[in-house]
Structure 1
């Protein structure tokens, strides 16, 4: 702080009244406090500030630290201590509570004027500054919200530009070069983005059509009204309808050009064939399913919905086919791996699980459906083969399955089911052989097998050999 160089000569013997007027005029708030911070005298330069802060006259005799908000009390303590130690302080901003509920910001500095251990604390009203700061923050937040809305709108229009089925090209009205083109336009001109961008737009049409495009752009540029023309593309004998609109962006005039190729419409015969194929897909007796590369279902027919016990096609769309196809989840993974590797599978035997527990023996054939995408789709034909299975009644003495038959069941039937089935067959054959060797003597057969007679009777009934058990014990477990 810089002080007067010769205050005695310039100010003379300045009295207390003159000093009080000078201090009150120079600041918004002036306080005389003792070293404990107790307010001994007060002066306000603004009546509205005095009414808001000390309208009830409670400041006189109070401690300065008690009339500020709790979060700024530490600043007041530091202010008084520095004034006592150094004689004067810098400015510190504190807040006073107000009856209106909104804190009043005040900037204070303290001076030890060397009399009776008293300090003079002067303050500046910061209400206008705080109001300007709030307006600035509000304006900044409003700008941020507008910027977010603008960015979201730009994202939506960019997404619409990219996914639109109609070919759209943005062309500079001065140079007639391509600035931007959506994927549909790139596909129509059969070019990639680096080739298309910055190229002259009329160069993508045949000679006479290129001149028609130049004339169209000149007419729209001059009149500002939309117009259209039918021209031929340079990459093939195809007619194309070109509609041009003029708009301004960033102080520049641009053309919005929409193109519709007539060759994209199918011929009448093709439409009829497509309709017949769609009808076949829906009404085929075999279940037909089209999946993505990862096995998730895109489309199914009614036969699949019936076999899978589903009510509508929406229940299956987007789900993985192995939710219904395959006994253990291994079948479908093996089939999908072979399909990806070889491109087709034929007559793969497995089972199809219904939504409500039904199990159907099926035969699956599938093929890879290549298209313009990097990863192909797959088409599955699923046929119910339960009606093919011979309905031959089992013989009295059924031979066990061969090793080849058991091998075919691996991956389709859990191991514990295979072991249980094999054990039951061997146990039944052993009991039948023991009965034959003993002349149908149950007691001797039980001794030969190492079983009690009661256990033998239980097994006889279990395997349908109850005719060998005595009548009095057939119901006794």
Structure 2
């Protein structure tokens, strides 16, 4: 009959006396030292009676002087409780659970070692065998670095996609994407939808030939065949279906995700000279009557013009009283708000959902949301601001419950609505906790590595863990 499995779940030798014979202490010592990176012989109180290393990787760290020391004194402060448990769990019939212990080293920082213990005889010494985990730690660090690099690349990709989307949507010319295999529209910008009188749902999947008259549709097929052969093709004198309007077509071939697509641009004929004048007058009339405040400033942030809604918001009766005045006289809790807004405009060209306040000339204070755009090529170059009063729908600074924000995204939404002093005072603990949680996640709950990543001493890091109630140090098993 086979012996039952011991409590550690491992299958031991069936008859070690018969298979191994009489193994003396010297042979056993060589076997233990050769099978582990470090081996310790301890008395029942945890004093190191002897030590052996399986290679130069550990012996070169200066650990040979451990003989005669308490095992607890050779480890970092957070590992002492693990050593106590390893000593207490040492039995004669099975090895203890493996636990990671960190040894301080003057040469290479902390050295992580995975230990298991077992007692030799009822009253004999305790044998602790360890495996050097530095190679695993190096792999973990490389994995974290690779993940961080991927996140940076993903961020850059998202920024590029955002710029493409913005350019695609704001283009005044009709532009759309066509699948080269089916010659059906996959994506169209608003200018295209306005030209063909279709909704986004109707335009998706529409055959490109359907937006031209039959005679022109046949020529469109020839243009696409030429573009597929040479990469680009242009044609003029095509007529749109329905309106019969004459337009030109520019087609460029590109590949994406192993499929060919056409970037198609409809070239509209120049409008009569009077049309832009009428359109501009209509646009200015619409802006003047908008319920949202509109104001245009020069690059020095001096007001050039504004609509009636802006005059009402700043409690000024006439445009002449605001023209030439500094916008920060009314917009922002302080000049810092407008400085941040203008800096973002100079860097990105446009800003949306910027929360701040407008201070009226008669003492009124209104919570507002600002959208702005930079026009560097204007005559003169200027900034345009759209200001919408949102005081009735904005929540209180920290929510009706009075609880702190729970994420960085929520914190950034409060910038411009709450003073910096108040934000710092109320959210310092939240930011520290989030940083610690992120570091623990990145290091797979390795507290020593997390403390090093955050630039904290181990004592400070463990004090913050206790303060925020993150993890149970007493139950940590490495």
What TM-score do the two structures reach when normalised by structure 1? 0.59
| Gap change, CA 1:3 and 1:73, over 3 Å in 2 | same
8 Å Cα contact 2:223/2:233 also seen in 1: no
CA distance in 2, matches of 1:3, 1:270: 94
Aligned match of 2:329: none
* Pick aligned residue for 2:31 from 6, 22, 35: 22
Aligned match of 1:44: 53
CA distance in 1, matches of 2:292, 2:180: 48
The superposition leaves residues 136-186 of structure 1 with CA deviations (integer Å, 9 ceiling, x where unpaired) of: 221122112212221222122112211211211100001100000010110
Where 2:66 maps in the other structure, the secondary structure is coil
Where 1:259 maps in the other structure, the secondary structure is strand
Aligned match of 2:183: 176
* Pick aligned residue for 1:237 from 241, 244, 252: 244
* Pick aligned residue for 2:316 from 313, 324, 328: 324
* Pick aligned residue for 1:225 from 215, 222, 232: 232
CA distance in 2, matches of 1:210, 1:255: 16
Structure 1: stretches of 5+ with no match in the other structure: 282-287, 301-309, 327-353, 358-376, 378-477
Aligned match of 1:291: 288
Larger radius of gyration: 1
In the TM superposition, what are the counterparts of 1:91-240 in structure 2 within 5 Å?
A: 91-114=98-121, 116-240=123-247
Deviation at 1:92, TM superposition (A): 1.0
8 Å Cα contact 2:226/2:233 also seen in 1: no
Where 2:317 maps in the other structure, the secondary structure is coil
| Gap change, CA 1:270 and 1:82, over 3 Å in 2 | closer
Where 2:60 maps in the other structure, the secondary structure is helix
Deviation at 1:237, TM superposition (A): 2.8
| Gap change, CA 1:274 and 1:128, over 3 Å in 2 | closer
Structure 2: stretches of 5+ with no match in the other structure: 1-9, 319-359, 364-385, 387-478
Aligned match of 1:8: 17
Aligned match of 2:271: 266
Deviation at 1:84, TM superposition (A): 4.6
| Gap change, CA 1:73 and 1:272, over 3 Å in 2 | closer
Q: Which deviates further from its counterpart, 167-176 or 143-152?
A: 143-152
| Gap change, CA 1:200 and 1:110, over 3 Å in 2 | same
Aligned match of 1:465: none
Deviation at 1:90, TM superposition (A): 1.9
CA distance in 2, matches of 1:289, 1:196: 29
8 Å Cα contact 1:166/1:184 also seen in 2: yes
Deviation at 1:74, TM superposition (A): 1.1
Q: State the superposition RMSD in angstroms.
A: 3.2
Aligned match of 1:61: 68
| Gap change, CA 1:316 and 1:185, over 3 Å in 2 | closer
| Gap change, CA 1:216 and 1:266, over 3 Å in 2 | closer
| Gap change, CA 1:297 and 1:17, over 3 Å in 2 | closer
In the TM superposition, what are the counterparts of 1:423-442 in structure 2 within 5 Å?
A: none
The superposition leaves residues 307-339 of structure 1 with CA deviations (integer Å, 9 ceiling, x where unpaired) of: xxx97425779834352239xxxxxxxxxxxxx
| Gap change, CA 1:65 and 1:228, over 3 Å in 2 | farther
CA distance in 2, matches of 1:150, 1:175: 28
8 Å Cα contact 1:291/1:298 also seen in 2: no
Aligned match of 2:260: 253
Aligned match of 2:474: none
8 Å Cα contact 2:289/2:307 also seen in 1: no
CA distance in 2, matches of 1:104, 1:292: 72
8 Å Cα contact 1:35/1:84 also seen in 2: no
* Pick aligned residue for 1:76 from 83, 89, 103: 83
| Gap change, CA 1:87 and 1:274, over 3 Å in 2 | closer
The superposition leaves residues 191-241 of structure 1 with CA deviations (integer Å, 9 ceiling, x where unpaired) of: 111221101101100121111111100111122234343311113131112
Which one has more relative contact order, counting CA pairs under 8 Å at least 6 apart?
A: 2
The superposition leaves residues 387-445 of structure 1 with CA deviations (integer Å, 9 ceiling, x where unpaired) of: xxxxxxxxxxxxxxxxxxxxxxxxxxxxxxxxxxxxxxxxxxxxxxxxxxxxxxxxxxx
| Gap change, CA 1:53 and 1:142, over 3 Å in 2 | farther
CA distance in 1, matches of 2:101, 2:308: 65
| Gap change, CA 1:53 and 1:155, over 3 Å in 2 | farther
CA distance in 2, matches of 1:127, 1:311: 62
CA distance in 2, matches of 1:273, 1:138: 59
CA distance in 2, matches of 1:43, 1:161: 69
Deviation at 1:291, TM superposition (A): 2.9
8 Å Cα contact 1:53/1:96 also seen in 2: no
8 Å Cα contact 1:295/1:321 also seen in 2: no
